[in-house]
Amino acid sequence: MTSSYTIKEGIKTYLDFIYVTLIWFVASFLGILLSLGSATLALYKVISSLSNIKKQTYVIHTFIDEFKRHFFKRVLISVMVVIDVFGLFIAFQYAIQRNITWLIILLIVITYEFLIGTIYSLGVITLFIIKNDQSFIVIIFILMHQNIWRNIQLLAPVIVLIFAFFYIHPTTIFFTISLCIWLQLVILKKSLVKFLS
């Protein structure tokens, strides 16, 4: 293979990343966030497939297949996540208005746990097969508290994404969200393949 072919394939993959992010955006927000869980897991699955250069991935077909799988179960999870995020937002507002330092610190810790737990859950579901729901919860809990350096690596792309969204331009989310997920999947696959095999 020539280097120009590699560059061409890299550009095609990145354009597919942007394409699947647009599909995710439409699927998530036209469903008034009720389809957020299904759409996000489908996004992770498509990005994982696109990362495998040897395998041909049909973006829309793969996304729709994954989106429909266990749809109602994921809708319930989406509703719980939206309620949790809304509750955290209200609690942060209350704590900041009343200047309750201990509550602000507690909410920061809860937000960290929620965010890192979500990243591990989506990553493990995407990369590995775990059949038992109880063992899945135990594995996620262990992974969340096992390696702080890995957690920092997983959160770094999210911080870059948020920075780009607020300080560069909101449309950067279409360019950065897929790269963020791809980096997280690379980190998780590299560090968890021995743990989960």
Give pLDDT tens digits for 6-31.
777 778 888 899 999 999 999 888 77
* Pairwise CA distance, residues 41 & 170, whole Å: 22
Per-residue pLDDT of 90-124, as tens digits, reads 999 999 999 999 999 999 999 999 999 999 999 99
* Pairwise CA distance, residues 17 & 194, whole Å: 28
Average of per-residue pLDDT across 160-189: 91
Q: For the range 149-155, what are the long-range contacts, defined as Cβ-Cβ under 8 Å and sequence gap of 24 or more?
A: 150/187, 150/191, 151/116, 153/187, 154/116, 154/119, 154/120, 154/123, 154/184, 154/187, 154/188, 155/115, 155/116, 155/119
Q: Determine the pLDDT at residue 2.
A: 47
Least confident of 42-46, 71-75, 100-104, 193-197: 193-197
Q: Determine the pLDDT at residue 139.
A: 86
* Predicted model pTM: 0.87
* Pairwise CA distance, residues 47 & 21, whole Å: 9
Single-letter code of the amino acid located at 40: T
Q: Tokens at residue 106, please?
A: 């507690």
The full 3-state SS of 57-117, as one line of letters, equals CCHHHHHHHHHHCCHHHHHHHHHHHHHHHHHHHHHHHHHHHHCCHHHHHHHHHHHHHHHHH
Helix orientation angle between 59-68 and 3-29, rounded to the nearest 10 degrees? 40
Best CA proximity match to 176, nearest among 14, 7, 6, 10: 14
